[in-house]
Amino acid sequence: MKEKNPWHTPVTIIITVIGVIAIVALVTVAVLQNMPLLQKYKYGIVLDAGSSHTSLYIYEWPAEKDNNTGRVEQKHSCTVDGPGISSYASAPPKAGESLRACMREAEEWVPKKRHHETPLYLGATAGMRLLDMENKVVSDKVFEAVKGALEKSPFSYQGARLLKGQEEGAFGWVTVNYLDDRLKQGLETTGALDLGGASTQISFVSDNYDGSESPSNSVTFRLYGNDYTLYTHSFLCYGKDQAQRIRLAEHTQSGPKIVADPCSHPGYSETKKYSVLYDSPCVSDRKPQGAPETFDHTGTGNFQECQEVVKKVFNFTKCKYSQCSFNGVFQPILQGPFGAFSAYYFVMDFLNLTDTSITLEDVKEKLKLYCATPWSQIVQQHPKTKPKYLAEYCFSGTYILTLLIDGYNFTSVSYSDIRFIKKIKGSDAGWTLGYMLNLTNMIPAEAPDTPPLPYAGYVSIVTIIAVLIFILFLVSVRPLWPHCSKQQQIV
Ligand SMILES: Nc1ccn([C@@H]2O[C@H](COP(=O)(O)OP(=O)(O)OP(=O)(O)O)[C@@H](O)[C@H]2O)c(=O)n1
């Protein structure tokens, strides 16, 4: 006699099949109903009109998440050919024309159907701040020219304006901390060090700063449910191009024909015009009287002497606060870590000094060797680097160290808290992303509500519950099973 398997009866087979189909249907409906929709994206464009050049950034984020939860990322960037818009003071319409090629690139990168709803902003920084101080009528004409060019684009033009130094510093800080996911998670924040051509910014949160001392340096934010009191300061004229002018102005006060410069390589020699050197509000009041039209800028390549002349750019004597950085500007005790970007990165990357585990003493030693290298050898070793940049890396490296150590009071210990960065997770570090996030209200003041379960967890729980229900069902219909008792079926 052969025992028949009790499961092999028509009733149990039918129940099982129906049950399995029901479970599959239940899970499929639940999963499909809650599946993330096919990803669609939205875009935003910001033009950074800096003193030395203009860059265009395109940002992208998931369309259904622009209610503050989606991650904004840089999709593309374009460097405008030519100098910064402030250099078009003598021909303002050209400032508008200069943006054309990058605007066309933007039209290709942003899907056509999104053009009309893509916000477009232009923010001008220290170059235009200086032009505005020098000649407001001309700076307004430059703005009119860029506005005219941007209004013609198919994007939703939202304005071109001069950014305050404080905004530049604060939005750079927002960018770095947003990209590092520190704001959403409420983690300790990273300070931001930004070095441009005409200004430099320092921004950080310090436990010792509540905004009461020197309130003009404080910016408060409430982001994702956390309150931040940020210390920020922008030093106009302390970007590396203007600092170079101030330094050379020190050298040339008496209007000599030959300037022997310790911050340029031995063998370097270039004839320069006094009128060009002094053509900036940062130095115009120091213009030597009766100087010849030109001077010969020659190099001696001496790092120690370079440090001495660079230090003279800063005023360390007066401070009416509990503590200062330089020029009588209040600065609370540094609190790291710090991200240093823009020219900090360009210069330290060129000099192979982005690794801050290298001790400060070694950094100085390397810079000493670099500055002493003959100009002919430098040119030979870097045939692809722009001669203007190449001629200045000895000065720029020395300036960065002096600014950080003598200016901001970094020590040989806290120097290692600095990270020289260009990008964070594919997006450039700089003020533009923070500016756009602010203007589009993409960072909420309060923490956004999150679903109690992630999608994968939700699917697993639905599946487990469905299987349990089915098992319970099978157990409950057990009396219907033919010969489910201990009886054995006799075939
Ligand atoms: N490979 C490079 C690229 C740029 N630079 C220098 O870096 C500075 C430009 O930095 P950036 O942040 O782009 O400045 P801007 O936005 O033009 O200036 P600002 O913010 O002061 O308006 C300039 O001095 C430029 O000479 C450099 O030394 N090496």
* 186 marked ligand binding residue: no
Indicate whether 100 belongs to any domain.
Answer: yes
What was the pLDDT predicted at 475?
A: 77
Nearest CA to ligand 1 atom 19: 196
Indicate whether 146 belongs to any domain.
Answer: yes
Q: Which of 140, 162, 184 is the last residue of a domain?
A: 162
For residue 309, the CA-to-ligand 1 centroid distance in Å is 22
Q: Is 165 in the pocket of ligand 1 (CB under 6 A)?
A: no
Burial string for 32-67 (b: 16+ CB within 10 Å, else e) reads eeeeeeeeebbbbbbbbbbbbbbbbbbbbbbeebbe
Structure tokens at 148: 């005219």
User: Kind of pairing, strands 294-299 and 258-261?
Assistant: parallel
Q: Which of 90-94, 120-124, 331-335, 455-459 has the lowest mean pLDDT?
A: 455-459
Is residue 116 pLDDT above 60, yes or no?
yes
* 33 marked ligand binding residue: no
Q: Is 346 in the pocket of ligand 1 (CB under 6 A)?
A: yes
Q: Is 127 in the pocket of ligand 1 (CB under 6 A)?
A: yes
Domain of 44: which CATH number?
Answer: 3.30.420.40
Asked if residue 66 and residue 152 are part of one domain, the reply reads yes
Q: Which of 123, 142, 162 is the last residue of a domain?
A: 162
Given 60, 105, 144, 168, which residue is catalytic?
168
Mean pLDDT, residues 284-304 taken together = 94
Q: Which of 162, 181, 202 is the last residue of a domain?
A: 162
DSSP secondary structure string for all residues of 241-299? HHHHHHHHHHHTTT--SEEEETTS-TT-EEEEEHHHHT-STTTGGGPPTT--SEEEEEE
Indicate whether 117 belongs to any domain.
Answer: yes
Burial string for 422-444 (b: 16+ CB within 10 Å, else e) reads eebeebbbbbbbbbbbbbbebbe
Distance CA 209, CA 271 (A): 48
Structure tokens at 186: 């409420």
Residue closest to 63 by CA, chosen among 36, 44, 42, 34: 42
Q: Are 101 and 80 in contact (CB under 8 A)?
A: yes
Mutate to test the pocket of ligand 1, among 346, 352, 388 (most ligand atoms within 8 A of CB): 346
Q: Which of 43-47, 87-91, 286-290, 396-400 has the lowest mean pLDDT?
A: 286-290
**What is the residue range of 15's domain?**
10-35+460-480
Number of domains in the chain: 2
Asked if residue 46 and residue 28 are part of one domain, the reply reads no
Determine which helix (DSSP H) or strand (DSSP E) holds 461, and give its type and residue range: helix 455-476
What was the pLDDT predicted at 108?
A: 98
Distance CA 325, CA 126 (A): 20
Helix axes 100-109, 136-151, angle to 10 degrees: 30
Q: How confident is the model at residue 490 (pLDDT cuts 50, 70, 90)?
A: very low
Q: Is 397 in the pocket of ligand 1 (CB under 6 A)?
A: no
Indicate whether 275 belongs to any domain.
Answer: no
Structure tokens at 205: 């949160």
Mean pLDDT, residues 238-244 taken together = 98
For residue 128, the CA-to-ligand 1 centroid distance in Å is 14
Asked if residue 107 and residue 69 are part of one domain, the reply reads yes
Indicate whether 369 belongs to any domain.
Answer: no
ipTM: 0.97
- In total, the chain counts a number of residues equal to 491
Indicate whether 230 belongs to any domain.
Answer: no
Which residue would you say has higher pLDDT here, 200 or 446?
200
Indicate whether 50 belongs to any domain.
Answer: yes
Peptide bond into 154 cis (omega under 30): no
Q: Is 348 in the pocket of ligand 1 (CB under 6 A)?
A: no
Task: Reply yes or no on whether 168 is catalytic.
Answer: yes
Indicate whether 343 belongs to any domain.
Answer: no
Asked if residue 114 and residue 83 are part of one domain, the reply reads yes
Q: Is 86 in the pocket of ligand 1 (CB under 6 A)?
A: no
Q: For 144-198, what is each residue's pLDDT tens digit?
A: 999 999 999 999 999 999 999 999 999 999 999 999 999 999 999 999 999 999 9
Q: Which of 127-141, 316-330, 475-489 has the lowest mean pLDDT?
A: 475-489
State the average pLDDT for the chain: 92
User: Kind of pairing, strands 199-204 and 226-236?
Assistant: antiparallel
Structure tokens at 489: 């079926």
Distance CA 309, CA 420 (A): 25
Q: Answer left, alpha or beta for residue 322, where phi above 0 means left and psi between -120 and 50 means alpha.
A: alpha
Beta-carbon count within 10 A of 318 CB: 9
Q: Are 128 and 142 in contact (CB under 8 A)?
A: yes
Q: How confident is the model at residue 446 (pLDDT cuts 50, 70, 90)?
A: confident
For residue 40, the CA-to-ligand 1 centroid distance in Å is 35
